[in-house]
Amino acid sequence: MFTKKYIFETRTTRSKRIFQTAAFLCLTGIVSFVLLCIYLPIYAEEQSELARKVFYQRSPDVIAVFTGDTGRLDYTFKKAEAHPSANIFITGVYAKNNLEILLKKQGKNISVEDYIESESHHIEIEYLARNTIENGLATINYLSKQNLLHPRVLIISSDYHIFRIARIMRALQDDSSEIDFYFESIPNDYNKISNIQKLMKEVYKFFKTSTFLLFWERD
């Protein structure tokens, strides 16, 4: 299919070979795209189940949330209440937001002032990250400043996002890294067209990110 069948190839056989090759590559791409759309939520649930087992009777050292879609912060604050000893790292926050504004948006039961006074020392907000790779770099940089011995880190995001985050975090770690990353996802209802669109867009982003990481040098 990909190479000449004949030493002297006619225009017709050459066109046929090119068409068959293009059709095969197109079909392979479509099948890969569909399979990845199916697999992303499955992978996220598997990782969430693993994280729940690991942190059943112990807390993560750090809970990091990669912002960008609704529900992630609310889920993170609830997880923080279950693990009060964990530090919270929020990356990719809109520049005009602060902790007080974020808490008000989540509708906390206690007053924002009381929450900030009692919990703000556990929370750090990062404003510069503009994409998932920069979220990952910001998280690695944050952890490097914490002086934690073999830290266990729980990363929270939407289910469609977890597979790409895991790929990025593996690429960002060097061989000597002692950080253990776990992932917990917020499930989406894929009976909704809007969530299917997010999933399809995420698959495109995964292929784009994977291509970038092939040529990316950590140094």
> What 8-state DSSP symbol labels residue 172?
H
Domains in the chain with CATH codes: 41-215 (3.40.50)
Strands (E), 109-176: 123-126, 152-158
Distance between first and last Cα of the chain: 41
Report d(CA 69, CA 46) in Å as an integer: 21
Nearest CA among 200, 125, 104, 214 for reference residue 167: 214
Q: Measure Cα distances from 196 to 27, 42, 102, 159, 193 in Å.
A: 21, 14, 27, 12, 5
Residue 24's pLDDT is 77
pLDDT 10s digit of each residue in the chain, 219 long? 545 455 556 777 777 777 777 777 888 889 899 999 999 999 999 999 999 999 998 999 999 999 988 888 889 888 988 898 899 999 988 766 666 666 666 665 555 556 655 665 688 888 889 999 999 999 999 999 988 889 999 999 999 999 999 999 999 987 777 899 999 999 999 999 999 999 999 999 999 999 998 887 665
Q: How many CB atoms lie within 10 A of CB 109?
A: 6
In tens, the pLDDT along 61-120 reads: 999 999 988 888 889 888 988 898 899 999 988 766 666 666 666 665 555 556 655 665
pLDDT for 84 equals 87
CA distances from 9 to 14, 19, 23, 24, 25 (A): 6, 15, 20, 20, 22
pTM: 0.83
